Structure 1
Amino acid sequence: MNNLPLILGALGPIFALILLGLGLRRLGFPGDGFWPAAERLTYFLLFPALLVNRLAQARLEEYAVGPVAVVVVVLLLGMTALAYTLRPWLGVDGPAFSSVYQGAIRFNTYVGLAVALAVFHVEGGTVAALVMALMIPMINVLCVLVLSAHAGGSISVTGVLRGLITNPLILACLVGIGLNLSGIGLPWGSAAMLDILARAALPLGLLAVGAGLRLAALNRLGLLVAVSALKLLVLPALAATLCWLVQPGQLETAVLMTFAALPGSSTAYILARQLGGDAPLMAAIVTVETGLALVTLPAVLVWVV
């Protein structure tokens, strides 16, 4: 418990920005048209700049990339199997199940990287970028497949591949790792420019997270609590077990546990709306998970640290 003040001091500004974004959106400032534009700017430019900057300059050989990959793959496949096992007890139709699945497996990248940098500093940010490079493609494939199977979304293998190769976060991870492994690094003063862009990514991204929350009626409270428990309690427990078995390293374990304890992402709502999922339920799941993470995420971090 000696680490509690440190953890709360690091997380406080992050959740304060999320709540500020929520408050600004409800006040109508600076206008409803601002937030979609801010999300696009962060998603397509600022956040990719941050990832390229981190990965291109990282000493990748210092990190246990192989064991981290094993934990990520087994963790996501294990949660997928658990979600299907629990489906008969949840009593939901196909579109609702696809939203439950996304709520159990997706994570908020903005919050994850902000927490990793705040608690584990520069090295934590680098490991977080590596975890994202492994998690994001696999999560996107799994979620699209589940939505196509249960929500009536029509998408082909070509469509899935197109979605992956045009995802700006995946592309940024590939570019950063490619520049690193090739020995090119960040030439021609690009590091300074990327650093400036990267500094704007997390504040704007966290404000957008808050603005994207939807205070929906809790008429499905039991289901919302069940999904939140699956995401915020069961997933970290499974990650802890896998890290104990695989032994990826102390820092890698801490960052993996952090990402396992993150709330869901507003990206899940967009995907549900596009592919026929239960979008209102998805919005409610993300909102409830983000609120509960105010308590569960510090608890997980105190245990890890």
Structure 2
Amino acid sequence: MLSILTVTLPIYILIALGYSVVRWGLFPRDGMKTLGLFVVRFALPALLFKALSQSSVEDVLNGRFLLAYALGSLLSFAWGWFSERQHEDSFRAIRGIGMSVSNTGFVGAPIVLQWLGPSVSVAFALAMIVENLLILPLTLVLAERNQGGDASPSQLLGQTLKPLVKNPLILAIFSGFLCAVFEVDLPSPIIRVIDMLAGASGAVALMVIGGTLVGLKTDGMLPDVGKLVAGKLIVHPLCVGVFMFLLMSKQPTLCAAAIALAAMPMMGIYPIIGQKYRHDGFCAAALLMTTVTSFFTLLGLMSLLKHFVLN
């Protein structure tokens, strides 16, 4: 437990530091958006590109990992969707994505890399493929149902996938994938630039998460938010764990990495996605509670994984 606390505590200290500097007026809240853009458009893509381009083809083409993580995430999404039949489709979809998409880049990668080392760096790249190319489009298509628009499901899917073509994270994943497959050797100055950008992703991303939590409230939402928190921090890793053990039992380190990633808080842009459907208050409250609660749930989960999976 002490060794795990040594890994997780610095992560949450940085989140608390980001919260404090914004809360005390030492850094403007709007400035966190700029830092977030730096992470999303430069630092995190560099980290993903580095993880994939320096991995073996066997690791990159890990179909079993992709299938297990996708099935586990879809099952968790379905749990959130079907457990709220009394609500409109947009709210059900928002609950579904809240239970099935983690903050893989901003929180998951720093924790998992410190805990299990760079050998599992390909895991969060593969997890982000599932999140961005499967769960996010599914969420937006379902959320747009019955919204009064004339677009067909296929048109909605096309509108959802189109921005992904220009997404720096997606471009980094596929370019890193190609470099791994064709064993491309980049010039050393380019590699050093990528390393420097990748190294900046962890601390800056965690500070951004902390800063964005300032001002979020949970008033009057605790029962509904509590169910979503339990779904994200318990149901999602449990679902992913079941399929990982069925399909990836011979690679326990990657299994542990996938389950830990699924146990992270939901993505930082969760309130932004909910805003379009007037659920931003609920999403913000859920993000705050999940981020705080995950400190304790991750300690327990990582301890169990270390004892039962990694030994």
TM-score norm. by structure 1 comes to 0.91
Aligned-pair distance for 1:162? 1.1
Structure 1 residues 144-163: aligned runs within 5 Å = 144-149=140-145, 156-163=156-163
Cα offsets for 1:260-280 (capped at 9, x unmatched) = 10111121212222x324011
Aligned-pair distance for 1:296? 0.6
Aligned-pair distance for 1:76? 2.1
Aligned partners of 1:150, 1:24: CA distance in 2, in Å? 42
Aligned-pair distance for 1:60? 3.5
- 1:230/1:217 Cα in 2 relative to 1: closer, same or farther (>3 Å)? closer
Q: Residue type of the partner of 1:253? A: C
Pair 1:108 & 2:110 matched = no
Aligned partners of 1:79, 1:102: CA distance in 2, in Å? 9
Aligned partners of 1:256, 1:217: CA distance in 2, in Å? 29
Q: Secondary structure at the match of 2:296?
A: helix
1:174 aligned partner: 174
Pair 1:14 & 2:7 matched = no
> Following TM superposition, where does structure 1 have runs of at least 4 consecutive aligned residues deviating by more than 3 angstroms?
91-96, 150-155
- 1:33/1:73 Cα in 2 relative to 1: closer, same or farther (>3 Å)? closer
The answer for unaligned runs of 5 or more in structure 1 is none
- 1:148/1:80 Cα in 2 relative to 1: closer, same or farther (>3 Å)? same
2:94 aligned partner: 99
2:223 aligned partner: 222
Aligned partners of 1:151, 1:171: CA distance in 2, in Å? 31
Tell me if structure 2 keeps the 8 A contact 1:44–1:168. yes
Aligned-pair distance for 1:103? 1.5
**Over aligned residue pairs, what C-alpha RMSD do you find?**
2.0
Aligned partners of 2:296, 2:219: CA distance in 1, in Å? 19
Aligned partners of 1:278, 1:246: CA distance in 2, in Å? 36
Aligned-pair distance for 1:62? 4.7
1:117 aligned partner: 113
Aligned partners of 1:277, 1:254: CA distance in 2, in Å? 36
Structure 1 residues 24-35: aligned runs within 5 Å = 24-35=21-32
Sequence identity of aligned pairs in percent? 23
Q: Secondary structure at the match of 2:185?
A: coil
Q: Residue type of the partner of 1:116? A: V
1:250 aligned partner: 252
Tell me if structure 1 keeps the 8 A contact 2:82–2:92. no
Aligned-pair distance for 1:165? 1.1
1:65 aligned partner: 62
Q: Secondary structure at the match of 2:26?
A: coil
Q: Secondary structure at the match of 1:243?
A: helix
Aligned-pair distance for 1:211? 0.9
Tell me if structure 1 keeps the 8 A contact 2:78–2:96. no
Structure 1 residues 153-302: aligned runs within 5 Å = 156-213=156-213, 214-248=215-249, 249-273=251-275, 275-302=276-303
Q: Secondary structure at the match of 2:218?
A: coil
Q: Residue type of the partner of 2:304? A: W
Aligned partners of 1:28, 1:14: CA distance in 2, in Å? 22
Aligned-pair distance for 1:111? 0.7
Tell me if structure 1 keeps the 8 A contact 2:244–2:255. yes
Tell me if structure 2 keeps the 8 A contact 1:95–1:276. yes
TM-score norm. by structure 2 comes to 0.89
